[in-house]
Amino acid sequence: MDVGELIGPLEVGPVAHGGHCVARTDGLVVFVRHALPGELVTARVTDV
């Protein structure tokens, strides 16, 4: 997973600290901004 890469679809899970939601892909935990639990999203990696 590299910065700038698009990953998905991700099923957005519960809200975590700071208002970001949690999703999981390939054994990794991903924090997703501007999403609601239950949504399916494609996300751009901004930090690794």
Q: What is the pTM of this model?
A: 0.81
Mean pLDDT, rounded, of the chain: 95
28-32 and 40-44 beta bridge pairing: unpaired
Average pLDDT over residues 1-19: 95
User: With pLDDT > 90 as the criterion, what percentage of the chain qualifies?
Assistant: 90
- Of 7, 13, 4, which Cα lies nearest the Cα of 35? 13
Would you place residue 1 in the very low, low, confident or very high pLDDT band (cuts 50, 70, 90)? confident
Is residue 43 over pLDDT 90? Answer: yes
Residues in CB range of 13: below 8 A, 6 or more apart = 21, 22, 23, 24, 37
